[in-house]
Structure 1
Amino acid sequence: MVDVTPERDDKPAERKQRAMPPPEIEASPAEEGQPDEQLQDAWPMVVPLYNKPIRNNKGEMVKEVKLREPRAADINRYGNPCRYNGDGEPVIQERKMTYMIAALADILPPFIEDMDPRDWNTCAMKLQRFFLPDLRAW
């Protein structure tokens, strides 16, 4: 029988290094010292109601909801409408969020409850980050 295995050198084969430029890493907004433009909201926040208009306290039909900036006092009155679950996912507590939207829009809760669910979720998602901790602090 003939041995056909190739002979092995004791020294490893030299690989040619490919010349690669170093990666360019952009600075984060926190490192630049400039606030992220997306995080800067204009108040009142206007949320259009694309699916169904609702009544305001005067009985008029409105096609947009104007929300004032939330304050800690609103959380004391109506509760915090958002929290993180055990998996770190944000959760919206619907009843508290309905009362919070009503307070911020100055529209009675029964009128907010008449909103189309898609419009309600749009309002809730736009407000969600104001009721969750700022992760930059961790």
Structure 2
Amino acid sequence: MSRSLDHPPRQDTEASVSELVKQASEQMSQLMRQELRLAQAEMKQKGKRFGMGGGLFGGAGVVGFIALQALAATAIVALDLVWPLWGSALAVAVVLLAVAAVLAAAGKKQVRQAAPPAPEQAIDSVKADVAEIKERAHR
């Protein structure tokens, strides 16, 4: 038997290993860049939705505030038939403050339960990539 069949030359083995390491490094770099682009795109989409939602809430708040003023004035005028004007205004103000407190508590609860503004898909993808790399490294 010839020596080249039994034991491949050391330089070829080192070259192959170094090429594999280089390829793995390039692939890891490319994968990380892709994951970062995914995270950036996800955060951009979430940011647009938060912005649009905030603008819509703002518009609803302005219109709601004007409507509430009209309703409060109507309620005060209606209660003026039964109580003095100052008593009617006080009663309407107390009711409005109670409604505001309930809405604030409900809003606080919703904000606490909101999903974190993190790129969840990208994070899950990176975790899966790391797990796959670890699994292949142990083989």
Whether the TM-score (by the shorter chain) exceeds 0.5 is: no
Larger radius of gyration: 2
TM-score (norm. length: structure 1): 0.24
Q: Which has the higher contact order (CA 8 A, sep 6+)?
A: 2
Q: Which has the higher strand share?
A: 1
